[in-house]
Amino acid sequence: MKTGLMADGAATAPIVALLDAGAGHSHAEIVRARAFAEPLLAMQSLDTGENALTHADGVAALLHRVGAAQELQAAAYLVYAADFLTKPEETVAKAFGDSYASLVTHTRRLVQLQRTTRDAKLSVDKKSDQRAEQTERVRKMLLAFSRDLRVVLLRLASRLQTLRWYAASKLPCPAELAEESQAVFAPLANRLGIWQFKWELEDLAFRFREPDTYKALAKALHETRVEREQRVEAARGAVQADLAAQGLQAEVQGRPKHLYSIHKKMQGKSLALERVFDLRALRVVVPTVADCYAALARLHEVYTPVPGEFDDYIAKPKPNGYQSLHTVVTGADGRAMEVQIRTREMHEHAEHGVAAHWAYKEAGARGYAGVSAAGEFEEQVARARKAVLNQLLAWERDATHAEGAPAFDDRIYVFTPQATIVELTAGATPVDFAYAVHTDLGHRCRGARIDGQMLPLNTPLHSGQTVEIIAAKEGGPSLDWINPELGYLQSQRSRAKVRAWFNALQQAQTVAKGRELVEKLLQREGRTALKLDELAARLGFKGADALFEVVGKDEYSLRNIELLLRPPEPVADEDELLAQRHTRSATAANSRGGVLVVGIDSLLTTLSRCCRPAPPDAIAGFVTRGKGVAIHRSDCSNLAEMQRRNPERVIAVAWAGRESEGKNAPVYPVDVLVEASDRQGLLRDVLDIFAKEKMNVVSVNTQSMKPGAAKPRTGGGDTAWMSFTLELTDAARLTKVLRDLCAVPGVRSARRK
């Protein structure tokens, strides 16, 4: 059995008509678009196997049959041509304008997402919950692109053309594509009022999914679709003429029941085919409720009513607000016919979307294409867009509940005042909404209007509501918002943003406290000229704020900074004990390589680590508490600071006689600092210099950094700092070594620490 669209001249679906309003494109635009696309598409095939140009022709024809704007028909060619352009959006914008380019961009993106989603099915066994998730993904994507309904219309027409091609070519249609068409695209067409698409999508998907059942049902009807349409048209004309003769102003609409609809009714009510009374259906639209009952009385007078098949949904509306009189009558030919009788207002409510038609008619295509306008015009566009999106949200909810998929019941969809749709978790509040729109808006949220009414910020939202946030110019969130008992936030993401704000605030306060403490310490020490970042780096922190934070938290003692600014009296550590082993304290005038304290015998001495003295350096001693005499180089900055504070504790010292030579000569640790341009093999070349001079290197430390970095870092960079600890018997040997180091390629300076 063939499936087909209604004849040309049928009433345009409201959702399509709104796109046609104000359209200023002529047929020449379609011709120009096809001429542009033909050389690109003529020799190309889609992934289904259909010729790309044939597919574009089919889509344009389908859009024409349902009365779509010529702009949309022209776009059908450009969308497919874009797949074969190097810079599609830029090229289309230049040749046809930004509106076309936007449509091409969004449609191609939606197609790519659909393909990716279809290919990424969780497993091949097609469990019901996985199919439901797949269906939900596609439905959600279409919902996301519903801001520009042209994209949705193009996808509907494209899917119908694809199913038509499979039917005409007699090739097997992929099961997932047929299933998606029936579960997603047909209900979407139904919700948007594009009945022609809805019927044919359902019938073709039914044909591919259940071919045996489809053929059996088609055979049982004993008539072709064309014959049934002719019978419906004859019945419609007869009823229209009779009611007019009775003085009733009635608009009678009719269409044959399609195969899938018949199958669904038979399955749902366990009916045999002869008990399906609405194989033909009429709809009578009259001005008033009184006219509804008058038309019903006349129908029952002219035709024979079928007992038990009358429902009065005007006196007792359905839970969703639907109102109509339903009856089944038998015509003169003996065939049953269902008739629905309703007022224009009831009809508009039942049809979903007709109520939005007037606003789009006023706004025209300009508003729908996204052109910004002000005042009443903009409000009309926003109201119309919201009405259409509400249809899609209702479709989403209806489909989800029908599939019995509670996993998808944890979402709601609400609108901004500009009719942008925002997805939230079920039970979300205006504060959740504000954070979903923008984090800063959430922080500054102070009130909310829900559908124009000021309500508390912890009011639960419901799908379809419009939320307007009242925000302060500046400020932050309230601690009450993260109190679960007060119910201000339901989203974990929103709670995380509020906590992050308070954490940042607390950190800023802690850093400020730490900065104040450090700056006061520097003032006491007379070191206010010291750069804070340099101080932090010397203490091992990444930056000044990191230092201030731990000081502000009382996790780092200011004593550590004092010790850096005022070095403590040297205490022997492992290095110094090692040095002691070589230098020994002077116990006699013939001590080997040690240090003599002038005028005092047998006094413990240690070599200071800060300046690492070695013969023949000029030296001085500093008497420590309980650790003997610390030996410093005379030019040591730490010695100068200690001498300033305790001059009486500085004593004269001298190197002891150096009688031992060769293997038994004492050695002293000495630090050498090298700055160089970092390069491959630099460390090797420097170590070669020490090796040639037979100097023992006991420690190496290298760091490098990029230009402008706050501090050195380990790894590659442009500048390298290298620190070496050598063991020497005589520090005078360093002069030649430092000169040789400066001659190494890339070395900028070499000096003793």
Instruction: Write a three-state SS string for 516-565.
Output: HHHHHHHHHHCCCCCCHHHHHHHCCCCCHHHHHHHHHCCCCCHHHHHHHH
The model's confidence at residue 226, banded by pLDDT at 50, 70 and 90, is low
The CATH number of the structural domain formed by 411-490 is 3.10.20.30
- Residue 147 pLDDT > 60, yes or no? no
pLDDT in tens, 296-330: 999 999 999 988 889 999 998 875 567 899 999 98
Q: Return the minimum-mean-pLDDT range out of 214-228, 612-626, 716-730.
A: 214-228
- Angle between helices 195-209 and 259-269 in degrees, nearest 10: 70
Q: Copy the structure tokens of residue 599.
A: 């005028």
Q: Where are the domains of the chain?
A: 14-219, 225-351, 411-490, 500-565, 574-662, 667-752
- Residue 448 pLDDT > 90, yes or no? yes
Q: Scanning the structure block, which residue is given the tokens 């079928």? A: 306
Cα(588)–Cα(338) distance, rounded to whole angstroms?
128
Give, for 487, the enclosing helix (H) or strand (E). Answer: none
How high is the pLDDT of residue 656?
73
pLDDT, greater one: 518 or 21: 518
pLDDT, greater one: 399 or 514: 514
Nearest to 533 by CA among 525, 541, 521: 541
For the ranges 320-324, 342-346, 420-424, 715-719, the one whose mean pLDDT is highest? 342-346
Q: Copy the structure tokens of residue 589.
A: 């005038």
How high is the pLDDT of residue 198?
83
How high is the pLDDT of residue 535?
86
Cα(388)–Cα(697) distance, rounded to whole angstroms?
80
Domains 14-219 and 225-351 share a fold: no
| Neighbour tally for 359: CB within 10 Å | 20
Percentage with pLDDT > 70 across the chain: 70
- Residue 370 pLDDT > 60, yes or no? no
How high is the pLDDT of residue 523?
84
How high is the pLDDT of residue 20?
44
pLDDT, greater one: 506 or 349: 506
pLDDT in tens, 544-581: 888 888 888 887 888 888 777 776 555 444 445 444 44
The model's confidence at residue 600, banded by pLDDT at 50, 70 and 90, is low
How high is the pLDDT of residue 275?
58
Query: What is the overall mean pLDDT for the chain?
Result: 76
- Residue 57 pLDDT > 90, yes or no? yes
Cα(539)–Cα(344) distance, rounded to whole angstroms?
81
Cα(417)–Cα(435) distance, rounded to whole angstroms?
16
Cα(640)–Cα(567) distance, rounded to whole angstroms?
11
Strand pairing category for 280-286 and 304-305: unpaired
The model's confidence at residue 64, banded by pLDDT at 50, 70 and 90, is confident
The CATH number of the structural domain formed by 14-219 is 1.10.3210.10
Residues ≥6 apart with Cβ < 8 Å to 510:
548, 549, 552, 553
Q: Are 653 and 629 in contact (CB under 8 A)?
A: yes
Q: Copy the structure tokens of residue 167.
A: 């039917």
Q: Are 721 and 674 in contact (CB under 8 A)?
A: yes
- Residue 286 pLDDT > 60, yes or no? yes
pLDDT in tens, 154-167: 888 999 999 999 99
pLDDT in tens, 482-517: 888 898 998 888 999 999 998 888 888 888 999 998
The CATH number of the structural domain formed by 667-752 is 3.30.70.260
For the ranges 25-29, 82-86, 399-403, 658-662, the one whose mean pLDDT is highest? 82-86
Cα(69)–Cα(369) distance, rounded to whole angstroms?
12
Torsional sign, CA 323, 329, 333, 334: positive
How high is the pLDDT of residue 489?
92
- What's the fold here for domain 225-351? Beta Polymerase; domain 2 (3.30.460)
Average pLDDT over residues 327-336: 82
Q: Are 184 and 160 in contact (CB under 8 A)?
A: no
Cα(22)–Cα(363) distance, rounded to whole angstroms?
8
Cα(427)–Cα(93) distance, rounded to whole angstroms?
43
